[in-house]
Structure 1
Amino acid sequence: MGAWGAGSFENDAALDYVEEIESVDDIAGALKLAGQAGYIEADEGSRAIVAGECVAAMRGHRSKDMPDELAKKVHAFGKASLELYNDARDNLSAVMSRGELVELWAEEGSGDWNRAVTDLMERLNQPAKSARKPRKKKPQPNPSPCMFCDQPMGDEQFHMLDLTIHEDDISTSKRGGWVHLQCLNAALHPKHMIQNWQFDDELLEWVMKKLEAEREGK
């Protein structure tokens, strides 16, 4: 019986691809889905997710579930280029939006895959860790409870949800509160997950230059 699970490294297609990765080019080769229209097969999506995990690890945000041998390889590749980083984000967004994995995990219904890919998205949002010792910055805590899990939000967690319920033509009720994005997405149909992509100054400048070059036909 083949392996099948919600995590990035918990299915046969992902594990087969892990064995193929020997260079940065092997990672880039799996990141070709974002620009393609149409359906994304489960195996293609699984490979793109693993590629995204590799890029996250190259930026210092490795998954605790990454196989040790793969972790050693990607560490030797050095920091991911901005092009590879942008491609990883675009491809994960595409996999989260459409294709066979969305359909399969909607049928499964646990929300585990939604939580797993949201975790990867959040790690791909984080700035690259510097080789130099960073200045110590005290994180801003948020002790308020999440509306879904009732656990404290944690450091630097400030997502909020506002609900407005229209009971009839004139009556409405409102409710709002703090939510972990992973908890919120786990409760949603995979097709309707919230994608909260962030751009730091370095990536935003690179994207703007790329768009400008494309407009000029370079």
Structure 2
Amino acid sequence: MGTWGIGPFDNDTAMDFADALDEAAEGERDALVRAALVRTVPPRGRLEYVEHLEGTEAVAAAALVAAQCPGDEPIDTSYWPDQALPAFATDLRSLAVEALDRVVADASELAELWDEAPGGTKWRQDVRRLRAVLAPEPEPQDALFDL
């Protein structure tokens, strides 16, 4: 699997994805991130198995989208894309959430591999954290009136 850590860019596949983003023309980077997410989200009504390479790219793409959301903590890695990324459209957030949900589901090779690895629990926590940044829970209405 070429993995040396649990972070979204701590593996060969994600590092290659970051390199592809760096090599792409500025106007193509948004489409590459979107494509990485779309590959894990099957058409409605179809359940498809997510291969680990696609899942790994989807987690990296979701991390890039989450990095532009309020409340995200910076990811400390030297493997992040070096070139500037566009401001992603807000619809990528919901697509990234769907992709992350598929990556941790039963029909995911990446989830299976992490479930067998010592860092699997921490990896799932990190994916949940990314998901929470992308789709934060709204504050209860009662909290607005607590003083």
| Cα distance, 1:85–1:8 mapped onto 2, change above 3 Å | same
Q: Deviations over 1:187-213 (max 9, x none)?
A: xxxxxxxxxxx469xxxxxxxxxxxxx
Q: Which has the higher helix share?
A: 2
Greater relative contact order (CA < 8 Å, ≥ 6 in sequence): 2
Q: Deviations over 1:157-214 (max 9, x none)?
A: xxxxxxxxxxxxxxxxxxxxxxxxxxxxxxxxxxxxxxxxx469xxxxxxxxxxxxxx
What does 1:125-204 correspond to in 2, within 5 Å? Answer: 125-126=135-136, 198=137
Secondary structure of the residue aligned to 2:61 is helix
TM-score by length of 1: 0.51
Does the aligned pair in 2 maintain the 1:89–1:124 contact within 8 Å? Answer: yes
Q: How far 1:29 sits from its partner (Å)?
A: 1.0
Q: Which has the higher strand share?
A: 1
TM-score by length of 2: 0.73
CA RMSD, Structure 1 to Structure 2 (Å) = 2.5
**Residue 53 of structure 2 aligns with which residue?**
43
**Residue 96 of structure 1 aligns with which residue?**
104
The count of aligned residue pairs is 126
Q: Does 1:25 align with 2:31?
A: yes
In the alignment, the residues of structure 2 paired with residue 56 and residue 90 of structure 1 have an alpha-carbon distance, to the nearest angstrom, of 13
**Residue 8 of structure 2 aligns with which residue?**
8
Letter matched to residue 105 of structure 1 = W
In the alignment, the residues of structure 2 paired with residue 20 and residue 121 of structure 1 have an alpha-carbon distance, to the nearest angstrom, of 24
Residue segments in structure 1 that go unaligned for 5+ positions in a row: 127-197, 201-218
Larger radius of gyration between Structure 1 and Structure 2: 1
Q: How far 1:43 sits from its partner (Å)?
A: 0.8
Q: How far 1:93 sits from its partner (Å)?
A: 0.9
Letter matched to residue 107 of structure 1 = E
Q: Aligned to 1:64, which of 75, 91, 97?
A: 75
